[in-house]
Amino acid sequence: MTTTVRALRFAEKDRVSVVDAALPEAGPGEIVLDVKAAGLCGSDLHYFHMTHNQMQNATQPRSPEMTPGHEIAGVVASIGPGVTHPSVGDRVAVQHYSGCGTCETCRKGWDVHCENARVYSLNRPGGCQDQVIVTAKDAVVLPDSVSFATGAFLACGATTAYQAIQRSEVRPGGTVLVIGAGPVGLAVLTWARALGLHAIATDPSPQRRKFASKIGFTDVYDSNNFDISTLRAERADVVIETSGNIHGRRAALEGVRTWGTVVFVGLGPGFDIDPVPDLIMRQVTLRGMFVFSVPLMMEAVREVEKHSVDLDPIITRISNIEDGPAAFADFANGSVGKTVIGWA
């Protein structure tokens, strides 16, 4: 049996449309989710700016027939054969890399590195549709205190931010410098505040700095005129680089103290390191980090509840699916904060 749902599609370069899409019944190990929130993320924008031909030939190719939105949260509407968890009615968010479930890396929860992983919105339908088929093991149950919009954010950027702090091994009371005040950078600031760390950030965009200040992060400085030595006697214990650009990466190395750690999170091309001054003489540790494991997402969800981590202020817009084309256009025009397609 197949039903029809409303779905967003990349209709052509720089334009999204609403179409009717087929939704099959949940197969073995699958669930049908009533989508409640689907976050728009940088990778959606990456494909938004492509022609269908460019999309099919991209480094990570995708079919134009795939619904965008890999940050998914919703309510389990029905379950397929063999599913014992989650249950109908559960509120869940979805880890967006869906591995085979049986290889070694999947069994550690690192579906991200599974050779046969499928990614929601890339090679299986994403969340910008009324209902979506989800592999049951990808679903993480959300407590009632966590909104669907925050749940969707935890399916990508907000758990990435949580993990960046964990991987930096910053000690209690330590200073975190965040490069970039986009949604991931703001999520790092939110986690840092909740965990009692000192956090400062830089961003070249006046709009982003103004927004950060509006939601309570006043230590966000213009990266074009930033010199950490004018702020603090010591450079930062850890730096979390979320911008993915060369200048941001350089600033990260310049901002970290001797024995400090830099975590590279932002995606983007190119960067030169000179090992002697950058790393060796200052005993600096560099870490790369990509997405997260399912257990780590479960931990982030628990921590949000335990510390009442309030990520909702970062979400600036919740649009219904009919307004999806306008939401995408505004997102592409550099809207601040996080945009989510939401269902009542």
- Yes or no: say if 339 and 330 are a contact pair by the CB < 8 Å rule: yes
| Count of positions on this chain that bind Zn ion (CB under 5 A) | 7
| Residue 300 in contact with Zn ion, rule: CB under 5 A | no
Nearest-angstrom CA–CA distance, 280 and 274: 9
Min dist CB 331 to Zn ion, Å, is: 12
| Of 4-12, 35-43, 202-210, 299-307: span binding Zn ion (CB under 5 A) | 35-43
In whole angstroms, the minimum distance from the beta carbon of 42 to Zn ion comes to 7
Verify binding: residue 291, Zn ion, rule CB under 5 A.
Answer: no
**Within 10 Å of residue 286's Cβ, how many Cβ atoms?**
17
Does 106 interact with Zn ion (rule: CB under 5 A)? yes
Peptide bond connecting 313 to the previous residue in cis, omega within 30 degrees of 0: no
Question: Taking Cα atoms as reference points, which of 342, 337, 298 lies closest to residue 321?
Answer: 342
Q: Which is nearer to Zn ion, 100 or 279 (CB)?
A: 100
- Shortest Å, Cβ 76 to Zn ion: 22
User: Cα(174)–Cα(157) distance, rounded to whole angstroms?
Assistant: 22
Cβ-proximal residues to 175 (8 Å cutoff; 6+ apart), any chain: 197, 198, 199, 200, 232, 234, 236, 237, 238
Q: How far is the CB of 164 from Zn ion (least distance, A)?
A: 14
311 token code pair: 């990520």
Specify the residue, 240 or 253, whose C-beta has the smaller distance to Zn ion. Answer: 240
Among 41, 176, 252, 311, binds Zn ion (CB under 5 A): 41
**Which residue in 18, 19, 77, 100 binds Zn ion (CB under 5 A)?**
100
Collapsing DSSP to helix, strand or coil, 194 comes out as helix
Sole binder of Zn ion in the list 16, 31, 76, 114 (CB under 5 A): 114
Smaller CB separation from Zn ion, 86 or 157: 157
Supply the minimum distance, in Å, between the C-beta of residue 294 and Zn ion.
12
Q: How far apart are CA 113 and CA 124, in angstroms?
A: 17
The interface with Zn ion within residues 137-156 (CB under 5 A) comprises 156
User: Residue numbers of the site for Zn ion (CB under 5 A)?
Assistant: 41, 99-100, 103, 106, 114, 156
